[in-house]
């Protein structure tokens, strides 16, 4: 009886908590948003990635109140201007990558096609974030008035963009890892295994599968199995990339040692191994650091929604979204800007005032 009374009192305070009220859309209504300075931001459909996920009956019926006096339960306040700034930086970076790859014919290879698609996935994150943040700012300042049906339609569009971006981004990260694996272990057969036709087919399949799975996730967001599927997909891609990169690093280290024994240059071998270890650490570390808290959030929603400590963890959802946006900023630095030719093309695209020349197959400029 005491537990039931406590739950009744807790749910009666629902409108006062940061985030949207039950039954409102992603952007909420302008009145309630103006009263709550630390709004929860969702990252997918109608409650799937709500920081409190209060739209789900399963979660709502088992949610336990957190210790409101705990400062960690208040979450980290992040102004909308921060989201707007990071979104603009990500948008510019990834647009430059897409333009550079499309202009330089030497970059028209399966590897760079995957990098280009990864940039497009990050572009969806940037556009969705900018669209959401812009509407939030306009609603707050009273410069935009939207009816509930219009808000829900806009909500659906942004949800589809972001969910598709999440699925496709993880898929293309895995595709890049597989491409590099084939490059190292099947170097002589690479061009017969990874053809442009197969690469384009894989790209089309990833986009279609991402869109369809996102539609299913949006339609059935209030089922725990949806969250488990998302977490399972993240873990599977993480395990795949860890296994491939560790195997590639082991092969590179063995190859470097063989060369060192032949030329009696042990120091050179150690330098090569160290460089490979640093690169591997950066790739996997950034990936896990940026995406890990977000998917841990989804896991805790299913595992311990009634635990006060988990509830406090949910309050920091805005920070997890910032990390995801930062990942879309860092991706071009890792996968694109490390290429000397791509850096050169990016410089031309960014600085030229007229249409930049393309590059022929022999490395000569063409008008």
DSSP code string of 134-192: HHHHHHHTTS----HHHHHHHHHHHHHHHHHHHHHHHHHHHHHHHHHHHHHHSGGGHHH
Tens digit of each residue's pLDDT (9 = 90 or more) over 157-183: 888 888 888 889 889 988 988 888 888
Question: CA Rg, the chain, in Å?
Answer: 23
Q: Following CA atoms 68, 71, 73, 76 in sequence, which dihedral angle do they give, to the nearest 10 degrees?
A: 140
The domain that holds 99 is classified in CATH as 1.20.1070.10
Residues linked to residue 365 through DSSP beta bridges, in sequence order? 359
- End-to-end CA distance of the chain: give it in Å, rounded: 80
* 213 inside domain: yes
pLDDT score recorded for residue 198: 93
Between CA 80 and CA 87 the distance in angstroms is 11
* 25 inside domain: no
* 57 inside domain: no
Which residues make Cβ contacts (< 8 Å) with residue 97, sequence separation at least 6? 115, 116, 119, 332, 336, 342, 346
| Domain region containing 85 | 80-351
Helix (H, G, I), strand (E, B) or coil at 344: helix
pLDDT score recorded for residue 150: 79
Q: Give the tokens for residue 326.
A: 């930062």
pTM for the full predicted model: 0.73
* 321 inside domain: yes
Tens digit of each residue's pLDDT (9 = 90 or more) over 118-144: 999 989 888 888 888 888 788 777 777
pLDDT score recorded for residue 63: 42
Exposed/middle/buried for 34, CB within 10 Å: 0-12, 13-18, 19+? Answer: middle
* 223 inside domain: yes
Q: Give the tokens for residue 114.
A: 């995957």
- Which stretches in the chain have pLDDT values below 50? 1, 6-69, 353, 359-367
Which residues make Cβ contacts (< 8 Å) with residue 342, sequence separation at least 6? 97, 100, 101, 104, 107, 112, 336
| Domain count for the chain | 1
Q: What are phi and psi of 104, to 5 degrees?
A: -95, 110
* 71 inside domain: no
* 345 inside domain: yes
Q: Following CA atoms 56, 57, 62, 68 in sequence, which dihedral angle do they give, to the nearest 10 degrees?
A: 60
* 35 inside domain: no
CA-nearest of 185, 172, 287, 188 to 238 is: 287
């Amino acid at each position: 009886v005491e537990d039931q009374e406590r739950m009744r009192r807790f749910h009666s305070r629902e409108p006062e908590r940061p985030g949207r009220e039950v039954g409102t859309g992603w952007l909420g209504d302008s009145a309630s948003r103006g009263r709550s300075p630390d709004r929860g931001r969702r990252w997918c459909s109608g409650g799937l990635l709500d920081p409190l996920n209060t739209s789900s009956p399963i979660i709502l019926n088992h949610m336990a109140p957190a210790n409101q006096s705990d400062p960690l339960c208040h979450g980290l306040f992040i102004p909308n201007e921060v989201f707007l700034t990071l979104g603009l930086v990500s948008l510019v970076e990834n647009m430059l990558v897409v333009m550079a790859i499309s202009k330089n014919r030497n970059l028209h290879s399966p590897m760079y096609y995957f990098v280009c698609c990864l940039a497009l996935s990050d572009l969806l994150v940037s556009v969705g974030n900018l669209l959401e943040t812009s509407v939030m700012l306009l609603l707050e300042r009273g410069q935009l008035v939207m009816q509930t049906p219009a808000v829900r339609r806009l909500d659906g569009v942004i949800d589809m963009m972001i969910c598709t971006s999440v699925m496709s981004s993880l898929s293309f990260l895995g595709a890049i890892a597989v491409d590099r694996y084939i490059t190292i272990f099947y170097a002589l057969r690479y061009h017969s295994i990874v053809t442009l036709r197969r690469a384009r087919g894989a790209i089309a399949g990833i986009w279609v599968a991402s869109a369809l799975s996102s539609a299913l996730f949006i339609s059935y967001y209030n089922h725990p199995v949806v969250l488990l599927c998302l977490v399972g997909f993240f873990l599977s891609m993480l395990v795949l990339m860890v296994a491939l990169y560790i195997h590639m690093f082991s092969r590179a280290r063995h190859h470097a040692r063989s060369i060192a024994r032949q030329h009696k240059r042990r120091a050179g071998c150690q330098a090569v191994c160290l460089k490979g270890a640093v690169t591997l650490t950066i790739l996997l570390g950034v990936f896990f650091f940026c995406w890990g808290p977000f998917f841990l959030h989804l896991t805790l929603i299913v595992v311990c929604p009634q635990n006060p400590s988990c509830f406090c963890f949910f309050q920091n959802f805005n920070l997890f979204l910032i990390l995801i946006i930062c990942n879309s900023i860092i991706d071009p630095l890792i996968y694109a800007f490390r290429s000397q030719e791509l850096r050169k093309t990016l410089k031309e695209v960014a600085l030229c005032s007229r249409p930049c020349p393309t590059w022929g197959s022999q490395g000569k400029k063409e008008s």
